[in-house]
Amino acid sequence: MNPKITEKQIQATIIMFWLGSLVVIGIDPQSKQDSWVASLLAGIMILPLLFLYIRLTSLYPGKNLFEILIQIFGRVFGRILIFIYVFFSIHLGGIILKVFSTFVHILNMPETPEPAILFFIILLSVWTVKSGPENIGRMSKYTFPIIVVSVAATFMAGAKDMDIGNLKPIMNTDLKTLLGSAFSLCVLPLGEAFLCLSFFSSLDPQAKPYRFFFKALIWTLAIVIVVNLRNILILGFPSATMFYFPSYETVGIISIGDFFSRAEVLIGINLMLAGFIKVAVCLYSSSLGLAKLLDAADQKFYVVPCALLMVTLAGILYENTVEWVEWIPVYEIYAIPFQIIFPIIILIGAEIKARIHPETKNPPAANKEAGGS
Amino acid sequence: MSSMIVFLVLYTILIVFDLIPVFKKKDKKALWFSVPVYLITLTVNIMTSFGVDMMSPNKIISQIISSIFH
């Protein structure tokens, strides 16, 4: 019997996947000191998409995203959509790899060439993905508490440096700007969780999607709001928006006496852990999709080619950090079809299919080997 | 130059531990996909390590989006 991903593991994987981008994104300069309110609004805005994922998985239990696509749209249109999502996974993986190699290169190892940093991240990701999706789930489950503890510890340790006045004036941002910031947060990264549906063929049948999706959302929002508040309370606005990695700068200020200082290494660890899980999820999703696209029996043979495409993309995506920051607003538009439009089309297709052919609803999970589980 | 060495080491490791097992398993479909990907990505990576300017996909996407919305 294949090992299954438990509910706790998939919950941790989704949280780490979301945090993989959220820990990098700084405070939105538009919503200023109210960015924590924008995070809360983003949590509400993402709910319809979460209901969409839950409905889709309830219509096709035991199937992953790519099996669902073939089941709904047939071999031709299904494969076109699979190709689109494989491309998106590889591109997203390349972006994340580039962000994390830039982070390490700028802040920790300016003399080390970026390909050397990519080298270690991608080799570890390949190894993890080749070990099976349940391995990604297990790693997420054990690394997630590290993030929680480090965020809580840095918040408490930074209490003496906090100025409550930095939060004022509260709710001074107009609703339109707040909604714009919340939408940005929805697209980058909350909506990217659609790729996590790739894991659903390896999911324990006892796992309840509504339960782990909502728990993951609550945990993620709690962490993001605490991080946002910590950064604003310590750095204040506009200082917090001046840095590419504000958490790193914030925690760099924190010290307790002479014995606890330079705690920013914790932020580096958080970034690497969450980023590594996110790259692994993208790699798993792309290799699984590619195996389905080529009708291959074993997904593991496609992990390294996908990883090589990600590394190559990461090398040519941006020339400098300014280009990366300028790309974020473009990404918010670019990601809409992958995260909102196509999932809605897929759900409509699934609903129509379920009504026309009720016997195809809840079909038994088949072809598990091709599913890579 | 240092980047090129890094890429050569990476590809050597991947060829030994990934591509050769695929050859041994005689999975033709995987080979037909993997070998060109190895060759193309290695060529692009070596070219970028020598400072050759490659067109970023992000720039292409940005141009497409700006042409749609402007």
CATH label of the domain that carries residue A46: 1.20.1740.10
Residue by residue, DSSP assigns A261-296 as --THHHHHHHHHHHHHHHHHHHHHHHHHHHHHHTT-
Do residue A330 and residue B62 have CB atoms under 8 angstroms apart?
Answer: yes
Give the per-residue pLDDT at A369.
Answer: 41
Angle at the Cα of A298 from the Cα atoms of A21 and A60, rounded to 5 degrees: 65
Is A32 part of a structural domain of the chain? Answer: yes
Question: Which residues of chain A have a CB within 8 Å of the CB of B29?
Answer: 294-296
Residue A147, domain extent: 7-354
A172: left (phi over 0), alpha (psi -120 to 50) or beta: alpha
- B8 reaches A (C-beta below 8 A): no
Structural domain boundaries in chain B:
2-69
A370 in a structural domain:
no
Q: How far is A305 from chain B (nearest CA, A)?
A: 6
Verify whether the Cβ–Cβ distance A317 to B30 is below 8 Å.
no
Answer whether residue A361 is part of any domain: no
Question: What string of DSSP letters covers A157-206?
Answer: HTGGG--GGGGPSTT-S-HHHHHHHHHHHHHTTGGGGGGGGGGGGGB-TT
Residues A158 and A139: their CA atoms lie apart, in Å, by 29
pLDDT tens track for A283-323: 999 999 999 999 888 888 999 999 999 999 998 888 777 88
The structural domain count of chain A equals 1
Alpha carbons A30 and A206: distance in angstroms, whole number: 43
- Residues constituting chain B: 70
Is residue A371 included in any domain, yes or no? no
How high is the ipTM of this complex? 0.95
CB A18 within 8 A of CB A275: no
Total length of chain A? 373
Mean pLDDT by 10 residues, chain A (373 residues): 82 91 70 83 91 91 91 91 95 90 82 85 92 92 91 86 83 84 83 90 88 93 90 82 79 75 78 89 95 89 94 87 83 90 94 80 48 42
Q: With an 8 Å Cβ cutoff, is B39 touching chain A?
A: no
B9: distance to nearest CA of chain A, Å? 9
Alpha carbon distance A290, A299 (integer Å)? 8
Supply the pLDDT for residue A130: 92
Q: Is the Cβ of B58 closer than 8 Å to some Cβ of chain A? A: yes
Alpha-carbon radius of gyration of chain B: 17
Does B46 touch chain A if contact means CB atoms closer than 8 Å? no
